[in-house]
């Protein structure tokens, strides 16, 4: 099934689930106010302000499908096992319920906890029933007749065999191969006869560049017949790039992308989280940051802030801001300490660096020196989560060009390396591996998990040097 079709189906599911979560909240609300239920369970009278919580739907309806998506609820096969449905659904309902409890707590709203728990249980039951109904519909004869589409598979013998094997491994794809046409042995003229004979809904064409002329003739024949033609464009053997099609001023283009898509809704939300999060943190930490600046000024000569050119997105240099933790001539002394470098690769790391000031040791231990980088986040040069930015001169010393892919996203204040025991990592290649693992598996949910794991790592001062 085409990704576009999968996305449409997912959006329909998300809309249905959002409505079911809203209905669940309404049912839990009505049950909590029902006199019979109150009498049965011997519950106290609900607080009167509970009646004004209808505005909470504005938060719940868009949030619920996003939480389910973060748990992989929409990535499962359509007719997969029930465990593949119920387990991510249970996790999603649990996190949504806990999120509501925390939201009411931090907003200091008086709400009956039993209502929130009922909401979680009801939403789990309603969405489970929806999934069972859909399973029954798609397994019925009527459902299969509407869902399945007949296709003609065109290509060389090897390619059609491979694609048939892939389709058999996905019985929920809704694609039925009614005939195959081998480009090596069967003339293209036979295509029209097969289209009429099998009343196909579309043609899947897998043709290498040697068959472009035949592929064009097949697409034109499908165009005349009004039949969809899907051209499998795997002409180039890429390893990690994801391929998408787009329109460039009326011309179809194939886009190869090995990094998260910048124009996606997740990327837009990441930018919002960065700006709002950095702004709030700077406001909340204004007094502590001023105290730290004063301590630096009083305990060592030199400026409070350390500024350095770092490599940002795609290697573009920018000025990073940090609290100064070293003596003012640290850069000149660095050459004398090159022999003590503990990191194999272009990066310089030394345990017990003699250039660090007494107050700097404390700031580094708890990563307080990194907080001014919130200004870099507001300036759009960094993100809250992303690969740590390296000095420009260290990036120039990259021996493996594949390491530059870590520059394909905005650098961040915290990252996988930061929370993975960085003081135990002595190989720059391992550092890069963690960064590329983050890039290849990026999602908003991964960012939130890294941010949550950063908090205890900072509080106990683990991994800092």
Confidence of residue 30 (pLDDT cuts 50, 70, 90): confident
Q: Is the pLDDT of residue 39 over 70?
A: no
- Span 264-293, pLDDT tens digits: 778 888 999 999 999 999 999 999 999 999
- Span 118-127, pLDDT tens digits: 888 999 999 9
> What value does the mean pLDDT of the chain take?
81
pLDDT at 134: 84
Q: Is the pLDDT of residue 51 over 60?
A: no
Of 87, 117, 141, at which residue does a domain stop?
141
Which has the higher per-residue pLDDT, 164 or 321?
321
Q: Is residue 179 part of a domain?
A: yes
What integer is the mean pLDDT of 433-456?
88
What integer is the mean pLDDT of 361-385?
91
pLDDT at 1: 56
Which has the higher per-residue pLDDT, 260 or 18?
18
Number of domains, the chain: 3
- Span 355-368, pLDDT tens digits: 888 898 888 888 89
User: Beta partners for 182?
Assistant: 155
Q: Are 292 and 417 part of one and the same domain? A: yes
Task: Check: pTM over 0.75? Answer yes or no.
Answer: no
CATH code for position 227? 3.40.50.280
For residue 57, the enclosing domain spans 3-141
User: Beta partners for 29?
Assistant: none
Q: Are 160 and 79 part of one and the same domain? A: no
- Span 319-356, pLDDT tens digits: 999 999 888 777 777 766 766 666 666 777 766 777 88
Q: Is the pLDDT of residue 236 over 80?
A: no
Which has the higher per-residue pLDDT, 300 or 262?
300
pLDDT at 290: 94
pLDDT at 292: 92
Q: Are 162 and 179 part of one and the same domain? A: yes
Q: Are 102 and 156 part of one and the same domain? A: no
């Amino acid at each position: 099934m085409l990704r576009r079709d999968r996305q449409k189906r997912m959006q329909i599911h998300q809309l249905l689930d959002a409505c079911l979560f809203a209905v669940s909240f309404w049912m839990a609300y009505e049950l909590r106010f029902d006199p019979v239920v109150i009498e049965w369970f011997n519950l106290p009278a609900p607080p009167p302000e509970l009646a004004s919580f209808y505005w909470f739907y504005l938060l719940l309806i868009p949030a619920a499908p996003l939480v389910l998506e973060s748990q992989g609820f929409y990535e499962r096969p359509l007719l997969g096992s029930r465990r593949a449905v119920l387990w991510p659904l249970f996790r999603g309902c649990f996190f949504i319920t806990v999120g509501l409890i925390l939201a009411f707590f931090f907003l200091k709203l008086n709400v009956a906890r039993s209502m929130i728990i009922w909401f979680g249980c009801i939403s789990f039951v309603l969405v489970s029933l929806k999934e069972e109904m859909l399973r029954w519909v798609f397994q019925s004869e009527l459902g299969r007749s509407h869902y399945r589409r007949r296709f003609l598979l065109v290509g060389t013998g090897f390619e059609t065999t491979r694609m048939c094997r892939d389709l058999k491994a996905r019985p929920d794809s809704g694609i039925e191969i009614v005939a195959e046409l081998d480009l090596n042995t069967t003339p293209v003229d036979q295509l029209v006869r097969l289209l009429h004979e099998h009343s196909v809904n579309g043609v899947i064409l897998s043709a290498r560049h040697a068959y472009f002329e035949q592929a064009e003739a097949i697409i034109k024949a499908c165009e005349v017949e009004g039949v969809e033609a899907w051209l499998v464009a795997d002409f180039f053997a890429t390893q990690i790039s994801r391929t998408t099609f787009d329109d460039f001023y009326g011309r179809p283009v194939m886009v190869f992308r090995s990094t998260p898509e910048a124009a996606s809704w997740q990327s837009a939300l990441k930018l919002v989280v960065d700006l709002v999060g950095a702004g709030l943190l700077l406001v909340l930490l204004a007094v502590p940051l001023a105290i730290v600046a004063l301590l630096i000024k009083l305990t060592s000569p030199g400026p409070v802030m350390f500024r350095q050119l770092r490599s940002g997105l795609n290697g573009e240099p920018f000025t990073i801001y940090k609290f100064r933790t070293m003596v003012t001539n640290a850069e000149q002394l660095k050459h004398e300490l090159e022999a003590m470098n503990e990191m194999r690769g272009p990066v310089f790391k030394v345990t017990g660096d003699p250039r660090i000031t007494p107050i700097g040791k404390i700031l580094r231990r708890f990563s307080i020196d990194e907080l001014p980088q919130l200004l870099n986040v507001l300036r759009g040069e960094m993100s809250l989560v992303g690969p740590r930015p390296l000095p420009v001169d260290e990036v120039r010393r990259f021996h493996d060009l594949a390491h530059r892919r870590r520059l394909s996203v905005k650098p961040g204040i915290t990252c996988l390396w930061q929370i993975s025991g960085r003081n135990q990592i002595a190989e720059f290649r391992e550092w890069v591996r963690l960064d590329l693992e983050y890039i290849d598996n990026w999602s908003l949910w991964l960012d939130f998990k890294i941010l949550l794991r950063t908090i205890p790592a900072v509080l106990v001062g683990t991994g800092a040097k």
